[in-house]
Chains A and B, each alone.
Chain A
Amino acid sequence: MAAPEPIPANLFEDLPAGESLTDHIAPTDLVYFLCNVGDGDAQLLLLPEQKATDTGVPLRRAIVVDSASPRKIPALIGELLKVGLLAASPGGAQQPLDGAIALVVATHPHDDHIGGMGALLSKYKRAVAEVWEPGYYHTAPAYHEMMAAIEDQPGLLYAQPTSGLRRWIGDVAVTVLTPSIQLRNRFDTYGVDINNSSISLRVEFPAARVVQRDNERRLVDAPNTQTLILGADTQTLSWAYAETDFPALAPSGSAAAAALKVATGSDFLRSQVLKVSHHASKHGINLELVERIKPALSLVSSVAGGGSYKFPHTVAQELIREAVDPTTRSGRDHPQDWDLGVFYTSDTTSTGGKLGSFAIVLGAGRRTVWRMLDTPSATISLDRAKKWLGT
């Protein structure tokens, strides 16, 4: 285990007096929150505004991916409702509009991922439109609470997705990378590690590809899309299936390919933001995978102060560094993690301040990193944030 080095405080900028993070989010932005819950996951994607079909009013919905504790995500949802960033129910400002939480994903039934899932589903009831979980039976109390909460909402859409499933939610495309159906078919033999049942996701924004002008429409390449890979606790075996399910396709520059407008190939796993799987455990990622993703931002959710498993593991940290900044041939040292875009929820500044949760604001071809200054047990306030000034 190597605890992250404190980051120079002058690489951050406080919110200007009287401003809130809300003032720095445009209607077309997607905001990814990776919450500081210690060695666990709690994530929320605040989707760009979309006009409601019945009223025409632009509203935002959210996707929740894991809820390790009963408080963190509900408190964040409360903040978003309070400032009007999430569609509120007309009946009560503290309850989201029916369906405003478009999707809840319980990546796998470990307590540090679904410890607060039962409470979340019970609290928001009809505000949640759809729930995914991998279908791995677990005997833990949190699993029973989650399934009971699902049972109590018979209107809730339920699915067990496997790799390749794509779901478009407004202007965001969600693709399931893992688990492969080959793994899911083995869950009940106990032949698959529970971490490898994890649902990992690729989130692409914007998903729009057709520009409509009067009665004409045309396809655009959308070269400025932003993609995130949310790695859950997926480990090497499951990533191996993902790497074959989503091969890197070589581009073709041939005249025939151009004439036919065939797909010229790309690497579907290439992504700007990676939520590093399994808290940067040595089993969570491998070099080839991170080389393919080539993330500009690698975000690790871990206490980095020891814990039972001493996350993050030095092996994983080193391979992320080597994947995004190869040095084997030159023999030079890697720069600091923050210069490589590698950050931890347990980060501190050189003056001792805790940096805590992330809010990544993603717009057209731009990305802004905010830190929410919270501890694992504290709630997030949108009025307290520091902006990362690095590249």
Chain B
Amino acid sequence: MEFQQRAAGVDVSIEASVGERLWLSGVVESPVEPTAGDSYVVVDESDEGVLEIVVASWPKLDPLGRLAFSGRRRTVAVSEAELSEVLDRRRQRSGETKRPVRIGDAFLVRGRVTNSPSKWPQIVDVTSFARAHAKIAFHAAVAPRTTVREAKALKLDSPPPAPEVPVPEAANVALPAV
């Protein structure tokens, strides 16, 4: 008997290929409905006020629901101050919390023809969605994916059980991140 390093899980025989559905298309929670001409922009590096951003075509989903990027990908340098100002202005208008630009931040950019963020007609922060999908990409790669039925049997989606011994209220506080 032979086991794989990681169980094959479901549907692993499906060859990766780019489907037709754009990532985040039709997602109710998404702040934007993507179109085929949009760019996917990720902050990859940061140093001395210069950001290296990776610019790719907006991803589609493959048959397994993975982000699939096609076409040419470019890494370009942009001013951190300029991008921050654009984002701050946008966040102020929409009542969102201001925050500094971080590596891993991801944006949908529409109508981008230059590398100057202040000249981008539309930029939408999709970081939380992108982070969630990066985690999905990781966990799907290293451990088996389950069927809905298996997930139910394993109680993967259920709320955690109540603690057997009640936790004193003072200790029931999440510690700040280091």
Contacts and interface: CB of A to CB of B under 8 A. Distances in A.
B132 to A, nearest CB: 9
A137 B6 CA distance: 20
A2 interface: no
B7 A154 contact: yes
Contacts of A158: 5-6, 141-142
Interface string B39-61: 01010110110101010100100
A309 B50 contact: yes
Interface stretch (A143-151, A252-260, A343-351, A379-387): A143-151
Contact of B40 (A141, A143, A148, A308): A141
Given A152-B12, A152-B16, A140 B42 contact: yes
Interface stretch (A55-63, A185-193, A323-331, A356-364): A185-193
Interface residues of B, number: 46
Given A139-B104, A152-B12, A186-B177, A147 B50 contact: no
Contacts of A186: 177-178
A151 B69 contact: no
A172 interface: no
Interface of B is mostly: mixed
A190 B66 contact: no
Given A151-B141, A186-B177, A194-B104, A140 B5 contact: no
A140 B54 contact: yes
Contact of A137 (B12, B45, B75, B134): B134
Contacts of B103: 193-194
A140 B103 CA distance: 10
Given A139-B106, A194-B103, A111 B141 contact: no
- Among A112, A139, A143, chain B packs the most CB atoms within 10 A around the CB of A139
A154 B12 contact: yes
Contacts of B135: 137
B151 interface: no
Contacts of B104: 137-140, 190, 194
Residue with the highest number of chain B CB atoms closer than 10 Å, among A135, A141, A147: A141
A309 B67 CA distance: 30
B100 to A, nearest CB: 11
Contact of A141 (B5, B48, B69): B69
Interface string A162-184: 00000000000000000000000
Contact of A189 (B62, B75, B177): B177
Contacts of A152: 12, 16
Contacts of A140: 42, 44, 54, 104
B142 A150 contact: yes
A308 B52 contact: yes
B54 A141 contact: yes
Given A141-B69, A144-B134, A190-B102, A151 B140 contact: yes
A143 B141 contact: no
A235 to B, nearest CB: 11
A17 B69 CA distance: 45
Nearest to A283: B47
A155 interface: yes
A110 interface: yes
10 cross-chain pairs, A with B, having the tightest CB-CB distances, nearest first: A189-B177, A139-B130, A151-B141, A147-B137, A308-B77, A154-B4, A137-B134, A141-B69, A150-B141, A147-B141
Given A138-B134, A148-B62, A154-B7, 4 more contacts: A139-B104, A140-B104, A144-B66, A147-B138
14 contacts: A139-B105, A139-B133, A140-B54, A141-B42, A141-B59, A142-B73, A144-B69, A145-B69, A147-B141, A151-B64, A152-B12, A189-B177, A190-B104, A309-B48
